[in-house]
């Protein structure tokens, strides 16, 4: 078929099963928008800012497991995507990012809205392309989706000069990817898996350390089966929440800097640590030298660059986490470590997650009430800060792909557009955004996108008139010298909702909470609930800098 390269791009997206894209138009990407206008097969969601587009595509990808797609024009349109691309890269989220570019004859001339976006994004993409030959576009699109979704997932950027998009080509679907040198290892080395299984068989205090790799590999059910088979409690990273049901007896929830103290103690006392799809990052292994000091460490990850990067590993296994776990199950008989599990129960009783039940509206109680009202079946999206940690501690996600949060980059402003993408991806599930007054104001314009698209997202704002997590750090490390962390003037978030003809509610007292949340959850449209909380409420437990996990403080 003869068509423009822009038309071929749309055909390629359809071939990849793309049903929705998130974007913002501009001059140099105009041919793509013209082609989209002539196709009824792909829905376009117009956001209010390009950063909203990439975060929405990210949220869509996290809840569906499919590749998220976003589109922006050249120059500032492309650079506005950078934070979202880095967010996806750090958390291994599959995206295809499409940007417009000035014509090839003007590349390098500092033309209007020209920027070297492929150069800028080299460190934060799995791969990127500047397309100079229109005939190669179909092959590049197919390669981009393959690279983004296989191995360790990640974002791939395709930069499209305007004159290339306007060229006419003979469109045929490529059949041969020809990706020399790109061959991810999926099945772990047999002898290494056997060595790992022998360690597990002789373990008396095993712990499974589960991360985002379990979610990415669709390995949650296998993880639960493995934990039950070897009587191993499971500690999770922020990205791994939902890998095992939060209410499962073997689930210890999140570990690390703000992890449950019993989860941290289990890691410090275990004799074998089975690390599955994790990075041993500094939010978990707060002090690398003292992490899991008594344990032999087995590390399974599809990315060989992560193994041994931060912590010494005894048994490295490169491979897909789910496939490796399935192989392990074939070699492991059921084993009961009653004494170890009894000790874990004692730790839970001795160091429970707790907060003062005094007067006023408690953020922890807000999260617990949300969980009760939704039976843990909602998709929870968070921004970054104290509210994120309270949600991670107290929501206890039941299923994978139902807890959506920016982990590695810690991107404030991520939550609202990601919630838009999540609701587009899974329209039949309730989507609740838990955010702070600081994070919400970074991308609050995307509430307009939710209203325009008729997406009944429920936005819970933990409003403490401050940048809560930074203020907490200043309390501990700066002797309460609060610099640039207190908001003396916030907007009226209830009136903000009203401006968009949406429902806005406010809660200031604990007695109002349940009825207000029920009203919001039963509403057909988007809702903002402004929850006014104490400015000096802190997140506990907390591990101070330079201390081992066993020395967290409880407040």
Q: Is 301 exposed, middle or buried (0-12, 13-18, 19+ CB in 10 A)?
A: buried
Q: Is 325 one of the annotated active-site residues of the chain? A: no
The two three-digit tokens of residue 20, written as one number? 């929705």
Question: Residue 469 catalytic?
Answer: yes
Residue 395: both structure tokens together: 């929501």
Q: How far apart are CA 517 and CA 324, in angstroms?
A: 42
Catalytic residue, chosen from 126, 142, 162, 398, is 162
**Where would I find the beta strands (DSSP E) of 144-284?**
155-161, 168-170, 206-210, 234-236, 251-254, 272-276
Asked if 239 and 152 touch (Cβ cutoff 8 Å), the reply is no
Burial class of residue 228 (count of CB atoms within 10 Å of its CB; 0-12, 13-18, 19+): middle
Tell me which H or E stretch contains 35: helix 30-37
Q: Give the three-class secondary structure for 258.
A: coil
**Dist CA 380 CA 499 (whole Å):** 25
Give all strands of the β-sheet with 503-507 in edge-to-edge order.
Answer: 403-404, 379-382, 431-436, 458-463, 527-532, 503-507
Residue corresponding to tokens 């793509």: 32
- Name the CA radius of gyration of the chain, rounded: 24
Choose, from 112, 221, 345, 346, the residue flagged as catalytic.
112
Residue from 328, 412, 444, 469 carrying the catalytic annotation: 469
Q: Which of 11, 22, 50, 412 is catalytic?
A: 50
Quick check: is 476 catalytic?
A: no
In a 13 Å sphere around the CA of 384, the CA atoms on its Cβ side amount to 15
- SS3 assignment for 485-524: CECCCCCCHHHHHHHCCCEEEEECCHHHHHHHHHHHHCCC
Residue 4 corresponds to which tokens in the numbers above? 């423009």
Quickly count: other Cβ atoms within 10 Å of residue 359's Cβ: 9
Dihedral sign for Cα atoms in the order 221, 224, 230, 232: positive
CB count within 10 Å of CB 453 equals 16
Angle, CA of 544, 549 and 551, to the nearest 5°: 65
Cβ-contact 378, 54 below 8 angstroms: no
Catalytic residue from among 3, 16, 19, 113: 113
> Is 512 an active-site residue?
no
Q: What is the dihedral of CA 443, 449, 455, 460, to 10 degrees?
A: 20
Residue 113 bears catalytic tag: yes
Catalytically active residues, by annotation: 50, 112-113, 162, 469
């Amino acid at each position: 078929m003869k068509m423009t390269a822009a038309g071929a791009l749309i055909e390629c997206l359809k071939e990849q099963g793309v049903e929705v894209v998130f974007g913002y138009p501009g001059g140099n990407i105009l041919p793509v928008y013209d082609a989209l206008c002539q196709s009824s097969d792909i829905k376009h969601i117009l956001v209010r800012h390009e950063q909203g587009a990439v975060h929405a595509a990210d949220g869509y990808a996290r809840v569906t497991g499919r590749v998220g797609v976003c589109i922006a024009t050249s120059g500032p349109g492309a650079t506005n995507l950078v934070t979202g691309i880095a967010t996806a890269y750090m958390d291994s989220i599959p995206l295809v990012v499409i940007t417009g570019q000035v014509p090839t004859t003007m590349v390098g001339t500092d033309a209007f809205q020209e920027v070297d976006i492929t150069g800028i994004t080299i460190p934060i993409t799995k791969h990127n392309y500047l397309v100079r030959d229109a005939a190669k576009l179909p092959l590049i699109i197919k390669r981009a989706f393959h690279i983004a979704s296989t191995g360790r997932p990640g974002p791939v950027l395709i930069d499209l000069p305007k004159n290339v998009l306007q060229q006419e080509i003979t469109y045929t679907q490529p059949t041969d990817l020809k990706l020399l040198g790109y061959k991810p290892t999926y099945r772990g080395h047999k002898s290494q898996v056997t060595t790992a299984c022998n360690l597990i068989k002789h373990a008396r205090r095993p712990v499974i350390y589960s991360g985002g790799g379990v979610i990415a590999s669709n390995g949650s059910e296998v993880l639960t089966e493995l934990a039950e088979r070897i009587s191993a409690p499971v500690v999770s990273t922020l990205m791994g929440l939902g890998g095992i049901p939060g209410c499962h007896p073997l689930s210890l929830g999140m570990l690390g800097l703000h992890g449950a103290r019993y989860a941290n103690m289990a890691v410090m006392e275990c004799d074998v640590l089975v690390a599955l799809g994790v990075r041993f990052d500094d939010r978990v292994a707060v002090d690398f030298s003292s992490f899991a000091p008594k344990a032999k460490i087995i590390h399974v990850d599809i990315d060989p660059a992560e193994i041994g990067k931060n912590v010494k590993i005894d048994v490295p296994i490169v491979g897909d986490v789910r496939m490796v776990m399935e192989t392990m199950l074939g070699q492991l008989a059921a084993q009961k470590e009653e004494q170890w599990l009894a000790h874990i129960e004692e730790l839970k009783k001795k160091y429970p997650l707790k907060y003062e039940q005094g007067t006023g509206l408690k953020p922890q109680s807000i999260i617990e009430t949300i969980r009760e009202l939704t039976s843990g079946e909602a998709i929870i999206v968070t921004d970054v800060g104290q509210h994120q940690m309270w949600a991670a501690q107290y929501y206890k996600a039941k299923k994978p792909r139902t807890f959506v949060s920016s982990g590695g980059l810690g991107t404030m402003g991520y939550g609202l557009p990601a919630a838009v993408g999540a609701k587009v991806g899974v329209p039949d599930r309730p989507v609740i955004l838990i955010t702070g007054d600081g994070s919400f104001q970074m991308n609050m314009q995307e509430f307009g996108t939710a209203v325009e698209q008729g997406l009944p997202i429920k936005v819970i704002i933990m409003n403490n008139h401050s940048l809560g997590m930074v203020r907490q750090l200043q309390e501990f490390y700066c002797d309460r010298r609060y610099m640039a962390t207190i908001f003396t003037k916030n907007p009226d978030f209830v009136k903000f909702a009203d401006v968009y003809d949406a429902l806005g509610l406010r809660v200031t007292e604990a007695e109002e909470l349940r009825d207000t949340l029920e009203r919001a959850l039963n509403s057909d449209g988007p809702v903002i609930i402004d929850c006014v909380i104490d400015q000096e409420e802190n997140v506990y437990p907390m591990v101070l800098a330079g201390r081992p996990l066993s020395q967290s403080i409880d407040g």
